[in-house]
């Protein structure tokens, strides 16, 4: 266990705290927890590279922590009717399709390596920015533009769909090459 892995575990622990705060309507505290989770996400990767402490455990935990935070955020925001439910369905469906594809490749013993692409990184940034701005709009009503948020919803959905299709085609390519 090293510092980057501890930071990743902290991020996982913050997810249920975030949900509880959201359910209680404590948007300012939920925003603070979300920001802390985001900072630990960037910090754990940075420290793992700088300190040369990249581990197999970290390579599994980090994406799980990311998915737990993003999926949970979209589910709770949709449940509370703060974001449109269709956006939550798009975000969660993409992740489910990716997990399904990884499972199929694994069960078929197809060798594969998944590396983040620019579109998947842009997707993650847009998803996190969506949650962040929506929380800011709940914390400081009137300081965010509805048009900006709606545009962000559509941009997030677009990039999520595009990156989902990218991974589907990449998975098909792995299968065809094996």
**pLDDT tens-digit profile of 15-38?**
999 999 999 999 999 999 999 999
Tokens at 32, concatenated: 């603070």
Counting the structural domains of the chain, the total is: 1
Q: For residue 144, is pLDDT > 80?
A: no
Show the domain range for 170: 3-177
Q: For residue 116, is pLDDT > 80?
A: no
pLDDT for res 128: 94
Q: For residue 62, is pLDDT > 90?
A: no
> What is the rounded distance in angstroms from the CA atom of residue 37 to the CA atom of residue 73?
12
> What is the rounded distance in angstroms from the CA atom of residue 118 to the CA atom of residue 95?
17
Percent of the residues in the chain that have a pLDDT greater than 70, as a whole number: 100
Looking up residue 160, the CATH number of its domain turns out to be 1.20.120.1760
**pLDDT tens-digit profile of 85-109?**
999 999 999 999 998 998 999 899 8
> What is the rounded distance in angstroms from the CA atom of residue 140 to the CA atom of residue 153?
19
Check if the beta carbon of residue 49 is closer than 8 Å to that of residue 100: no
**pLDDT tens-digit profile of 39-53?**
998 888 888 888 888
């Amino acid at each position: 266990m090293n510092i980057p892995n501890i930071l990743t575990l902290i991020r996982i622990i913050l997810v249920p705290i975030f949900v509880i705060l959201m359910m209680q309507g404590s948007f300012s505290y939920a925003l603070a927890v979300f920001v802390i989770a985001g900072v630990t996400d960037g910090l754990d990767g940075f420290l793992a590279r700088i300190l040369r402490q990249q581990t197999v455990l970290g390579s599994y935990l980090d994406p799980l922590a990311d998915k737990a935070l993003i999926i949970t955020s979209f589910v709770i925001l949709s449940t509370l009717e703060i974001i449109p439910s269709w956006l939550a369905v798009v975000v969660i469906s993409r992740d489910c399709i990716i997990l399904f594809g990884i499972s199929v490749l694994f069960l078929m013993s197809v060798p594969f390596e998944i590396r983040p692409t620019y579109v998947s990184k842009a997707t993650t940034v847009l998803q996190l920015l969506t949650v962040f701005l929506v929380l800011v709009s709940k914390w400081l009503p009137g300081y965010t533009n509805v048009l900006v948020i709606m545009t962000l919803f559509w941009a997030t959905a677009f990039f999520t769909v595009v990156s989902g299709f990218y991974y589907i085609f990449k998975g098909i390519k792995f299968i065809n090459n094996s």
